[in-house]
Amino acid sequence: MTVPDTVRALDTPASRELAGLAELLGDVQTVLECCERLAGGATEPDELTAEALWTTAVLAYARCFEGEPRLAASDVAETSLQGEVTEWHELLLRLRDHYVSARREQCGVGAAQDDTGRAGGVAVTSAPRPAPDEVTVRQTGALAYELGKLVDARMSEQQELLRAAVGDMPAAELSSLPKIDLAP
């Protein structure tokens, strides 16, 4: 495939739909990449990196079901995955709500008793969120992979529709559209 000399910006419902699908695919690929890094690395990530990857995966997954265009629960149910896929999807959305609203660690405060049973001090305890297990990560990655195939197919269809519409556009009209700068 050759790199074009000039690309013109399109601002039509069909071009906006294609751009939205590309953004949607980017979120699906983010989920997949995070899961791959969590499950497939030669070295296990440290606790903070694992939490960051998992949180990013969950937030990106949830974004796939918001805005326009978006995926729907029916898309999840129609994947080739076996088992309780819809329930897993709903759990991931609930996890997103949890990660958005909950602090990283749950802390508690207690009175530390001395040898006599009296309060000898105050203790602050904390418990970090547990890291996701390998099954959780792999299931989420498999779901992202299947949804990515679905979004890619929708993009291909939309691209063909847009290519047909632009193919009929007169050269003078196309040349009047703003240029998009291409990175070298």
Residue ranges making up the domain that contains 46:
8-176
Q: How far apart are CA 86 and CA 75, in angstroms?
A: 9
- What is the C-alpha to C-alpha distance for residues 164 and 158, in angstroms, rounded to an integer? 10
Report yes or no on 182 lying in a domain.
Answer: no
Give the integer Cα–Cα distance in Å for 11 and 93.
Answer: 32
Asked if residue 123 is part of any domain, the answer here is: yes
- pLDDT (tens, 9 = 90+) of the chain, 184 residues, equals 677 888 999 999 999 999 999 999 999 999 999 999 999 777 888 888 998 999 999 999 999 999 899 999 999 999 999 999 999 999 999 999 888 887 777 889 999 999 999 998 999 988 877 788 899 999 999 999 999 999 999 999 999 999 998 998 899 999 999 999 887 6
Q: pTM, whole model, 2 decimals?
A: 0.82
Domain assignment present for 181? no
- Among 30, 82, 76, 80, which residue's Cα sits nearest to residue 53? 30
Q: Cα(24)–Cα(30) distance, rounded to whole angstroms? A: 10
> How much is the pLDDT for 184?
66
Residue 39 three-state SS: helix
Is 156 within the bounds of a domain?
yes
pLDDT at 45: 86
Angle between helices 13-40 and 134-167 (to 10 degrees): 160
Task: Measure the CA–CA gap between 27 and 160, rounded to whole angstroms.
Answer: 22
132 part of a folded domain: yes
- The Cα 127–Cα 77 span in angstroms is 35
As for how many domains the chain has, the answer is: 1
